[in-house]
Amino acid sequence: MGTVLIEKDRCKGCGLCVQACPSHVLAMSHEINTRGYFFPLVEHPDDCNGCRYCVLVCPDVAVQVEHKGKTTAAPEALNDLSMHYCPGCTHGVIHRLVAEAIDALGIRERTVGVAPVGCSVLAYEYFNCDMHEASHGRAMAVATGIKRGRPDLIVFSYQGDGDLASIGMAETIHTANRGEKITVIFVNNAIYGMTGGQMAPTTLPGQVASTCPLGRDVALAGYPIRIVELLKELRTPAYLARVSVHDPKAIIQARKAIKTAFQHQVAGTCFSLVEILSTCPTGWGLMPYEACGWLAEHMIPYYPLGEFKNPEQGVVKETER
Ligand SMILES: Cc1ncc(C[n+]2csc(CCOP(=O)(O)OP(=O)(O)O)c2C)c(N)n1
Protein backbone atom coordinates (compact mmCIF):
# COMPACT_ATOMS: atom_id res chain seq x y z
CA MET A 1 0.00 0.00 0.00
CA GLY A 2 1.19 3.53 -0.75
CA THR A 3 0.53 6.90 0.82
CA VAL A 4 -0.23 9.91 -1.37
CA LEU A 5 1.18 13.19 -0.06
CA ILE A 6 -0.28 16.37 -1.55
CA GLU A 7 1.22 19.82 -1.19
CA LYS A 8 -2.13 21.47 -1.64
CA ASP A 9 -0.99 25.08 -1.98
CA ARG A 10 1.26 24.14 -4.86
CA CYS A 11 -1.63 22.62 -6.78
CA LYS A 12 -3.31 24.46 -9.68
CA GLY A 13 -6.35 22.23 -9.69
CA CYS A 14 -5.84 20.56 -13.08
CA GLY A 15 -7.21 17.25 -11.78
CA LEU A 16 -4.82 15.13 -13.89
CA CYS A 17 -3.79 13.12 -10.81
CA VAL A 18 -7.43 12.27 -10.09
CA GLN A 19 -7.91 11.07 -13.68
CA ALA A 20 -4.64 9.10 -13.74
CA CYS A 21 -5.18 7.11 -10.55
CA PRO A 22 -6.22 3.58 -11.53
CA SER A 23 -7.57 2.91 -8.01
CA HIS A 24 -9.69 6.08 -7.69
CA VAL A 25 -7.87 7.10 -4.53
CA LEU A 26 -8.16 10.83 -5.19
CA ALA A 27 -11.05 13.25 -5.63
CA MET A 28 -11.15 17.02 -6.07
CA SER A 29 -11.93 19.11 -3.02
CA HIS A 30 -14.84 21.52 -2.77
CA GLU A 31 -12.69 24.08 -0.99
CA ILE A 32 -9.97 26.14 -2.61
CA ASN A 33 -6.33 26.47 -1.64
CA THR A 34 -4.49 29.74 -0.90
CA ARG A 35 -4.03 30.30 -4.64
CA GLY A 36 -7.72 29.93 -5.40
CA TYR A 37 -7.67 26.43 -6.91
CA PHE A 38 -9.53 23.26 -6.01
CA PHE A 39 -7.02 20.58 -5.03
CA PRO A 40 -7.05 16.77 -4.77
CA LEU A 41 -8.01 15.03 -1.56
CA VAL A 42 -7.02 11.50 -0.62
CA GLU A 43 -10.53 10.04 -0.46
CA HIS A 44 -9.70 6.34 -0.36
CA PRO A 45 -6.21 6.04 1.19
CA ASP A 46 -6.44 2.28 1.67
CA ASP A 47 -6.82 1.72 -2.07
CA CYS A 48 -3.44 3.24 -3.05
CA ASN A 49 -1.18 0.59 -4.61
CA GLY A 50 1.85 2.90 -4.80
CA CYS A 51 1.90 3.04 -8.62
CA ARG A 52 2.97 6.73 -8.57
CA TYR A 53 0.91 7.63 -11.63
CA CYS A 54 -0.29 10.72 -9.74
CA VAL A 55 3.33 11.81 -9.25
CA LEU A 56 4.12 11.29 -12.93
CA VAL A 57 1.24 13.34 -14.32
CA CYS A 58 1.34 16.27 -11.87
CA PRO A 59 2.67 19.31 -13.79
CA ASP A 60 3.18 21.24 -10.55
CA VAL A 61 5.33 18.75 -8.61
CA ALA A 62 2.60 18.93 -5.94
CA VAL A 63 2.16 15.18 -5.40
CA GLN A 64 4.53 12.65 -3.87
CA VAL A 65 3.99 9.02 -2.89
CA GLU A 66 5.47 6.95 -0.11
CA HIS A 67 5.63 3.27 -0.93
CA LYS A 68 7.62 0.41 0.62
CA GLY A 69 9.64 2.82 2.74
CA LYS A 70 10.61 5.05 -0.19
CA THR A 71 9.15 8.50 -0.80
CA THR A 72 9.35 10.19 -4.16
CA ALA A 73 10.89 13.68 -4.10
CA ALA A 74 11.21 16.63 -6.41
CA PRO A 75 14.43 16.41 -8.44
CA GLU A 76 17.43 18.38 -7.21
CA ALA A 77 17.84 19.90 -10.68
CA LEU A 78 14.50 21.69 -10.26
CA ASN A 79 14.26 24.73 -8.01
CA ASP A 80 11.64 24.64 -5.28
CA LEU A 81 9.39 27.18 -7.00
CA SER A 82 5.84 27.14 -8.19
CA MET A 83 5.85 27.35 -12.00
CA HIS A 84 3.82 29.96 -13.90
CA TYR A 85 2.30 27.56 -16.46
CA CYS A 86 -1.48 27.36 -16.91
CA PRO A 87 -3.29 24.59 -14.99
CA GLY A 88 -2.74 21.24 -16.69
CA CYS A 89 -0.06 22.48 -19.10
CA THR A 90 2.46 19.67 -19.50
CA HIS A 91 5.51 21.96 -19.67
CA GLY A 92 5.79 21.28 -15.90
CA VAL A 93 5.91 17.51 -16.45
CA ILE A 94 8.63 17.93 -19.08
CA HIS A 95 10.65 20.19 -16.78
CA ARG A 96 10.56 17.48 -14.15
CA LEU A 97 11.65 14.77 -16.61
CA VAL A 98 14.59 16.86 -17.80
CA ALA A 99 15.59 17.55 -14.19
CA GLU A 100 15.32 13.85 -13.35
CA ALA A 101 17.64 12.97 -16.24
CA ILE A 102 20.18 15.56 -15.06
CA ASP A 103 20.04 14.14 -11.53
CA ALA A 104 20.22 10.53 -12.70
CA LEU A 105 23.38 11.21 -14.72
CA GLY A 106 25.00 13.28 -11.96
CA ILE A 107 25.70 16.18 -14.34
CA ARG A 108 23.90 19.07 -12.61
CA GLU A 109 27.09 20.93 -11.70
CA ARG A 110 28.23 21.04 -15.32
CA THR A 111 24.93 21.46 -17.13
CA VAL A 112 23.83 24.67 -18.86
CA GLY A 113 20.31 25.03 -20.24
CA VAL A 114 19.17 27.54 -22.83
CA ALA A 115 15.63 28.88 -22.44
CA PRO A 116 13.60 30.08 -25.45
CA VAL A 117 11.00 32.74 -26.07
CA GLY A 118 7.61 31.13 -25.62
CA CYS A 119 5.66 29.90 -22.60
CA SER A 120 8.87 28.39 -21.24
CA VAL A 121 10.71 31.72 -21.37
CA LEU A 122 11.07 31.56 -17.58
CA ALA A 123 12.54 28.06 -17.60
CA TYR A 124 15.78 29.64 -16.38
CA GLU A 125 14.03 30.23 -13.05
CA TYR A 126 13.00 26.62 -12.63
CA PHE A 127 16.08 24.57 -13.48
CA ASN A 128 18.64 24.34 -10.72
CA CYS A 129 21.62 24.45 -13.06
CA ASP A 130 23.25 27.26 -15.01
CA MET A 131 20.81 28.74 -17.49
CA HIS A 132 21.00 31.20 -20.35
CA GLU A 133 18.20 33.03 -22.15
CA ALA A 134 18.14 33.20 -25.95
CA SER A 135 16.15 35.42 -28.26
CA HIS A 136 13.27 33.87 -30.17
CA GLY A 137 14.42 30.90 -32.26
CA ARG A 138 18.10 31.25 -31.42
CA ALA A 139 18.44 28.79 -28.55
CA MET A 140 20.44 26.27 -30.58
CA ALA A 141 22.83 28.98 -31.80
CA VAL A 142 23.42 30.06 -28.20
CA ALA A 143 23.78 26.42 -27.09
CA THR A 144 26.30 25.85 -29.90
CA GLY A 145 28.40 28.78 -28.71
CA ILE A 146 28.43 27.55 -25.12
CA LYS A 147 29.27 23.98 -26.09
CA ARG A 148 32.04 24.95 -28.50
CA GLY A 149 33.56 27.29 -25.93
CA ARG A 150 33.29 24.76 -23.12
CA PRO A 151 33.07 21.21 -24.52
CA ASP A 152 33.28 19.87 -20.96
CA LEU A 153 29.81 21.25 -20.21
CA ILE A 154 26.53 19.48 -20.89
CA VAL A 155 24.37 21.90 -22.85
CA PHE A 156 20.69 21.63 -23.64
CA SER A 157 18.13 23.88 -25.25
CA TYR A 158 14.46 23.79 -24.30
CA GLN A 159 12.21 25.06 -27.10
CA GLY A 160 8.60 25.23 -28.24
CA ASP A 161 7.39 24.46 -31.75
CA GLY A 162 7.05 28.12 -32.73
CA ASP A 163 10.55 28.80 -31.46
CA LEU A 164 12.19 25.72 -32.97
CA ALA A 165 10.18 24.99 -36.12
CA SER A 166 9.16 28.48 -37.23
CA ILE A 167 11.46 31.42 -36.49
CA GLY A 168 14.28 29.07 -35.45
CA MET A 169 14.02 26.59 -38.31
CA ALA A 170 17.32 27.61 -39.89
CA GLU A 171 19.12 27.14 -36.57
CA THR A 172 17.44 23.78 -36.12
CA ILE A 173 18.44 22.33 -39.48
CA HIS A 174 21.98 23.67 -39.42
CA THR A 175 22.71 22.84 -35.79
CA ALA A 176 21.56 19.27 -36.40
CA ASN A 177 23.44 19.08 -39.68
CA ARG A 178 26.66 20.29 -38.10
CA GLY A 179 26.20 17.63 -35.45
CA GLU A 180 26.67 20.02 -32.57
CA LYS A 181 27.08 17.97 -29.43
CA ILE A 182 24.08 19.45 -27.65
CA THR A 183 20.74 18.04 -26.50
CA VAL A 184 17.50 19.63 -27.67
CA ILE A 185 14.25 19.31 -25.76
CA PHE A 186 11.55 20.17 -28.30
CA VAL A 187 8.09 20.76 -26.84
CA ASN A 188 5.46 20.38 -29.56
CA ASN A 189 2.03 21.60 -28.42
CA ALA A 190 0.84 22.31 -31.98
CA ILE A 191 0.26 26.00 -31.24
CA TYR A 192 1.88 29.28 -30.21
CA GLY A 193 0.86 29.11 -26.56
CA MET A 194 2.46 32.23 -25.13
CA THR A 195 1.10 34.72 -27.63
CA GLY A 196 -2.53 33.58 -27.70
CA GLY A 197 -2.87 30.29 -29.54
CA GLN A 198 -1.89 31.23 -33.10
CA MET A 199 -1.23 28.61 -35.78
CA ALA A 200 2.24 27.07 -35.56
CA PRO A 201 4.11 25.09 -38.23
CA THR A 202 2.98 22.02 -36.26
CA THR A 203 -0.76 22.87 -36.04
CA LEU A 204 -2.72 19.90 -37.39
CA PRO A 205 -4.80 20.02 -40.59
CA GLY A 206 -8.23 21.34 -39.62
CA GLN A 207 -7.10 22.30 -36.12
CA VAL A 208 -8.64 25.55 -34.94
CA ALA A 209 -6.22 28.24 -33.76
CA SER A 210 -6.71 31.96 -33.20
CA THR A 211 -5.26 32.79 -36.64
CA CYS A 212 -7.21 30.01 -38.39
CA PRO A 213 -10.64 29.99 -36.74
CA LEU A 214 -11.97 27.66 -39.45
CA GLY A 215 -9.09 25.23 -38.92
CA ARG A 216 -5.70 24.93 -40.62
CA ASP A 217 -6.24 24.90 -44.36
CA VAL A 218 -3.40 22.91 -45.88
CA ALA A 219 -4.05 24.48 -49.28
CA LEU A 220 -2.97 27.79 -47.78
CA ALA A 221 -0.67 26.84 -44.91
CA GLY A 222 0.81 23.53 -46.06
CA TYR A 223 0.99 20.42 -43.92
CA PRO A 224 2.39 20.45 -40.39
CA ILE A 225 6.12 19.86 -40.24
CA ARG A 226 7.37 16.63 -38.71
CA ILE A 227 10.69 17.80 -37.32
CA VAL A 228 12.09 14.44 -36.27
CA GLU A 229 11.39 12.89 -39.67
CA LEU A 230 12.99 15.89 -41.36
CA LEU A 231 16.15 15.70 -39.25
CA LYS A 232 16.37 11.94 -39.67
CA GLU A 233 17.44 12.52 -43.26
CA LEU A 234 20.59 14.28 -42.08
CA ARG A 235 23.64 12.17 -41.52
CA THR A 236 24.94 13.64 -38.30
CA PRO A 237 22.28 13.55 -35.57
CA ALA A 238 22.99 10.76 -33.11
CA TYR A 239 19.68 10.40 -31.37
CA LEU A 240 16.20 11.45 -32.50
CA ALA A 241 13.03 10.41 -30.73
CA ARG A 242 9.41 11.48 -30.39
CA VAL A 243 7.55 10.87 -27.15
CA SER A 244 4.45 12.20 -25.43
CA VAL A 245 3.38 13.17 -21.92
CA HIS A 246 -0.38 12.67 -22.16
CA ASP A 247 -0.57 9.70 -19.77
CA PRO A 248 1.59 7.90 -17.19
CA LYS A 249 2.85 5.19 -19.54
CA ALA A 250 3.82 7.74 -22.17
CA ILE A 251 5.58 9.79 -19.49
CA ILE A 252 7.68 6.76 -18.49
CA GLN A 253 8.77 6.38 -22.14
CA ALA A 254 9.45 10.12 -22.34
CA ARG A 255 11.65 9.95 -19.24
CA LYS A 256 13.70 7.18 -20.83
CA ALA A 257 14.15 9.02 -24.13
CA ILE A 258 15.20 12.28 -22.45
CA LYS A 259 17.79 10.43 -20.36
CA THR A 260 19.11 8.65 -23.47
CA ALA A 261 19.47 11.98 -25.28
CA PHE A 262 21.56 13.37 -22.42
CA GLN A 263 23.58 10.15 -22.22
CA HIS A 264 24.60 10.70 -25.82
CA GLN A 265 26.04 14.06 -24.95
CA VAL A 266 27.80 12.65 -21.90
CA ALA A 267 29.33 9.99 -24.17
CA GLY A 268 30.49 12.73 -26.57
CA THR A 269 28.44 11.68 -29.59
CA CYS A 270 26.58 14.15 -31.78
CA PHE A 271 23.40 16.12 -31.69
CA SER A 272 20.46 14.58 -29.83
CA LEU A 273 16.85 15.79 -29.94
CA VAL A 274 13.69 14.58 -28.25
CA GLU A 275 10.38 15.89 -29.54
CA ILE A 276 7.76 15.78 -26.82
CA LEU A 277 4.07 16.02 -27.70
CA SER A 278 2.63 18.32 -25.07
CA THR A 279 -0.76 19.80 -24.23
CA CYS A 280 -1.93 23.42 -24.25
CA PRO A 281 -5.33 23.24 -22.52
CA THR A 282 -5.73 27.03 -22.58
CA GLY A 283 -4.78 27.49 -26.23
CA TRP A 284 -6.80 24.46 -27.31
CA GLY A 285 -9.82 25.53 -25.22
CA LEU A 286 -10.04 22.18 -23.43
CA MET A 287 -10.04 20.90 -19.86
CA PRO A 288 -6.63 19.43 -18.93
CA TYR A 289 -7.79 15.79 -19.10
CA GLU A 290 -9.63 16.50 -22.38
CA ALA A 291 -6.43 18.00 -23.76
CA CYS A 292 -4.57 14.75 -22.94
CA GLY A 293 -7.26 12.78 -24.78
CA TRP A 294 -7.14 15.19 -27.73
CA LEU A 295 -3.38 14.76 -27.97
CA ALA A 296 -3.69 10.96 -28.01
CA GLU A 297 -6.51 10.98 -30.53
CA HIS A 298 -5.30 13.67 -32.93
CA MET A 299 -1.60 14.35 -32.50
CA ILE A 300 -0.15 10.85 -32.17
CA PRO A 301 -1.62 9.57 -35.48
CA TYR A 302 0.11 12.47 -37.29
CA TYR A 303 3.21 12.50 -35.11
CA PRO A 304 4.05 8.84 -34.47
CA LEU A 305 6.02 8.07 -31.33
CA GLY A 306 9.31 6.20 -31.22
CA GLU A 307 13.05 6.38 -31.68
CA PHE A 308 13.82 7.55 -35.19
CA LYS A 309 17.57 7.29 -34.86
CA ASN A 310 18.84 5.25 -32.01
CA PRO A 311 22.29 4.75 -30.54
CA GLU A 312 22.80 1.42 -32.28
CA GLN A 313 21.84 2.57 -35.76
CA GLY A 314 22.42 6.25 -35.87
CA VAL A 315 25.66 7.29 -34.26
CA VAL A 316 28.12 8.84 -36.65
CA LYS A 317 31.44 8.87 -34.88
CA GLU A 318 33.57 11.99 -34.97
CA THR A 319 36.15 10.30 -37.21
CA GLU A 320 33.57 9.29 -39.80
CA ARG A 321 32.38 12.81 -40.45
C1 LIG B 1 11.37 38.09 -32.97
C2 LIG B 1 10.06 37.73 -32.32
N3 LIG B 1 9.02 37.37 -33.08
C4 LIG B 1 7.85 37.03 -32.51
C5 LIG B 1 7.70 37.05 -31.16
C6 LIG B 1 6.38 36.71 -30.54
N7 LIG B 1 6.36 35.38 -29.95
C8 LIG B 1 6.67 35.19 -28.66
S9 LIG B 1 6.55 33.60 -28.22
C10 LIG B 1 6.05 33.14 -29.75
C11 LIG B 1 5.72 31.71 -30.11
C12 LIG B 1 5.71 30.79 -28.95
O13 LIG B 1 5.26 29.53 -29.32
P14 LIG B 1 6.06 28.22 -29.05
O15 LIG B 1 7.49 28.38 -29.40
O16 LIG B 1 5.34 27.13 -29.75
O17 LIG B 1 6.02 28.02 -27.48
P18 LIG B 1 4.79 27.86 -26.47
O19 LIG B 1 4.49 29.26 -26.03
O20 LIG B 1 3.65 27.23 -27.21
O21 LIG B 1 5.33 27.00 -25.39
C22 LIG B 1 6.01 34.23 -30.61
C23 LIG B 1 5.60 34.18 -32.03
C24 LIG B 1 8.83 37.42 -30.38
N25 LIG B 1 8.78 37.44 -29.05
N26 LIG B 1 9.98 37.75 -30.98
Query: 185: Cβ below 6 Å to ligand 1?
Result: no
Q: Where are the domains of the chain?
A: 2-71, 91-320
CA of 117 to the centre of ligand 1 (A): 6
3-state secondary structure the chain: CEEEEECHHHCCCCCHHHHHCCCCCEEEEEEECCCCCEEEEECCHHHCCCCCHHHHHCCCCCEEEEECCEECCCCCCECCCCCCCCCCCCHHHHHHHHHHHHHHHCCHHHEEEEECCCHHHHHHHHECCEEEECCCCCHHHHHHHHHHHCCCCEEEEEEEHHHHHHHCHHHHHHHHHHCCCCEEEEEECCCECCCCCECCCCCCECCCECCECCCECHHHHCCCCCHHHHHHCCCCCCEEEEEECCCHHHHHHHHHHHHHHHHHHHCCCCCEEEEEECCCHHHHCCCHHHHHHHHHHHHHHHCCCEEEECHHHHCCCHHHC
Range 76-82 contact pairs with CB under 8 angstroms and sequence separation of 24 or more: 76/103, 76/108, 76/128, 77/102, 77/103, 77/108, 77/111, 77/127, 77/128, 77/129, 78/126, 78/127, 78/128, 79/125, 79/126, 79/127, 79/128, 81/125, 81/126, 82/10
Architecture of domain 2-71: 2-Layer Sandwich (3.30)
CB distance 163 to ligand 1 below 6 Å: yes
- Report, at the CATH architecture level, how domain 91-320 is classified: 3-Layer(aba) Sandwich (3.40)
- Closest residue CA from atom 24 of ligand 1: 136
**Ligand 1 in contact with 120 (CB < 6 A)?**
yes
CA of 59 to the centre of ligand 1 (A): 21
pLDDT in tens, 182-226: 999 999 999 999 999 999 999 999 999 999 999 999 999 999 999
Q: What is the pLDDT of residues 95-139, one digit of tens each?
A: 999 999 999 999 999 999 999 999 999 999 999 999 999 999 999
Ligand 1 centre to CA of 51 (Å) is: 37
**Does the C-beta of 275 come closer than 6 Å to ligand 1?**
no
pLDDT at 207: 98
Q: State the pLDDT confidence band at 313, using cuts at 50, 70 and 90.
A: low
For residue 230, pLDDT beyond 50: yes
Would the CB of 117 count as within 6 Å of ligand 1?
yes
Binding site membership of 194 for ligand 1 (Cβ less than 6 Å): yes
Q: Whose CA is nearest to atom 6 of ligand 1?
A: 195
* pTM reported for the whole predicted model: 0.96
pLDDT cut 90: percent of the chain above it:
95
